[in-house]
Amino acid sequence: MKNILIHFLLLASIVTVTDRAQADQKDPRLPALFTNLLSVNPGARSIILERKIWDIWLESENQTIVHLMEIGERATQAGNFSDALDAYTQVIM
């Protein structure tokens, strides 16, 4: 759970700072997903909702950004937070 929180915080800061991402916290699809996520128990349903949120956050027409975000996501999941931060930093530069 700690890894997921760190990942959310890193991505939230990127989405807030960069103007190169299409989706942000104001995306009209997000409120219902977050509401549903808060109301379900951990398990398959929460994983599906989390994935939908990430899919929205990761939308971009720029394939370099998509690739860097994927690197950051994999690094975060592996606990390599330094590598994740490096990838996310490249997105906002």
pTM flag (> 0.85): no
The predicted pLDDT at position 25 comes to 72
Higher pLDDT, 19 or 31: 31
C-alpha separations of 53 from 82, 83, 86, 93 in Å: 23, 22, 22, 23
pLDDT value of position 66: 86
Confidence at 9, pLDDT banded by 50, 70, 90: low
